[in-house]
């Protein structure tokens, strides 16, 4: 059995979920209102941002989506999986899991581009004064995928036999759904990430969800 803190703490389940979704939607509109330079400097995680002391981007990037389809897919996952996690563990733990998954996802993305992707592609890294380290190979990252994956995997681990509709059509057990998601991310990572997503961020979020399951289920 899993522990429960229903409604406990300062953020109730509905409030916590509403705050997370509201922050994502709000920042989506900020991309259309504020200067692109300001948004890229403060809502996108990158090696340059960390080097310049903008550590807050590790958190703000986890709420930052520019494309509508990216926002909608993440918010649908956050609503359906996050709603249950908030009811079981409380709003504060939902927010904590979201933030942790987001930060770990961003760091995983950077580590992948700096170390694993060059290794997969047999790239010989030469450190010089211009690159200032391996992390300079990393592409900037934003999006709530890592955070949502942490929440989704925790829910799947708690209820592995539940039926989930894959792509809103095919009914499959939650455990199989989780394996498909993780397997596709592993494949994308090893095949050079040719599809424009960030499999490392997804996997970093999934690892966060797994650790939360080990710590919170008792």
At 42, which CATH number?
1.20.1540.10
Q: Please give the pLDDT value at position 138.
A: 59
pLDDT in tens, 42-59: 999 988 888 899 999 999
Active site residue 106: no
**Is the residue at 8 inside a domain?**
no
DSSP 115: I
Q: What is the pTM of this model?
A: 0.85
Q: Of 47-61, 90-104, 166-180, 183-197, which gets the smallest average pLDDT?
A: 183-197
**Is the residue at 177 inside a domain?**
yes
**Is the residue at 203 inside a domain?**
yes
Domain hosting 206: range is: 13-216
Are the CB atoms for 136 and 155 separated by under 8 Å?
Answer: no
Q: Please give the pLDDT value at position 50.
A: 87
Residues facing residue 53 across a β-bridge:
none
Grade residue 160 by pLDDT with cuts at 50, 70 and 90.
Answer: very high
Residues facing residue 45 across a β-bridge:
141
Residues contacting 148, CB < 8 A, separation 6+:
74, 77, 78, 81, 82, 98, 101, 205
CA-CA distances (angstroms) from residue 195 to 181, 185, 187?
15, 11, 11
Residues contacting 65, CB < 8 A, separation 6+:
24, 27, 28, 71, 74, 142, 143, 144
pLDDT in tens, 7-44: 444 568 899 999 999 999 999 999 999 999 999 999 99
Active site residue 109: no
Q: Residues in the chain, how many?
A: 218
Q: Please give the pLDDT value at position 128.
A: 43
Grade residue 196 by pLDDT with cuts at 50, 70 and 90.
Answer: low
Q: Which position among 64, 108, 138, 145 bears the catalytic label?
A: 145
Residues of the chain above pLDDT 90, percent: 63
Residues contacting 95, CB < 8 A, separation 6+:
11, 16, 19, 20
**Tokens found for residue 118:** 């060059």
Count how many domains the chain has: 1
**Is the residue at 2 inside a domain?**
no
**Is the residue at 6 inside a domain?**
no
pLDDT in tens, 100-135: 999 999 999 888 877 766 555 555 444 444 444 454
Closest CA to 217 of 94, 89, 95, 93: 89
Whether pLDDT at 192 is above 80 = no
């Amino acid at each position: 059995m899993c522990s429960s803190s229903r409604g406990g703490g300062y953020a109730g389940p509905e409030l916590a979920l509403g705050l997370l979704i509201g922050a994502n939607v709000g920042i989506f509109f900020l991309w259309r209102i504020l200067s692109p330079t300001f948004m890229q400097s403060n809502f996108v995680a990158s090696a340059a941002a960390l080097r310049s002391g903008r550590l807050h981007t590790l958190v703000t990037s986890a709420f930052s989506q520019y494309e509508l389809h990216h926002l909608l897919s993440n918010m649908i996952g956050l609503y359906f999986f996050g709603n249950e996690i908030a009811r079981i563990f409380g709003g504060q733990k939902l927010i904590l899991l979201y933030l942790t998954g987001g930060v770990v996802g961003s760091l995983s993305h950077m580590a992948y581009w700096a170390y694993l992707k060059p290794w997969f592609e047999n790239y010989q890294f030469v450190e010089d004064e211009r690159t200032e380290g391996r992390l300079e190979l990393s592409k900037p990252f934003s999006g709530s995928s890592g955070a949502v994956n942490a929440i989704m995997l925790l829910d799947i681990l708690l209820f592995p036999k539940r039926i989930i509709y894959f792509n809103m059509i095919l009914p499959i057990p939650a455990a199989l759904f989780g394996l498909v998601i993780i397997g596709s991310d592993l494949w994308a990572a090893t095949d050079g990430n040719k599809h424009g997503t960030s499999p490392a961020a997804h996997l970093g979020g999934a690892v966060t969800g797994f650790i939360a399951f080990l710590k919170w289920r008792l």
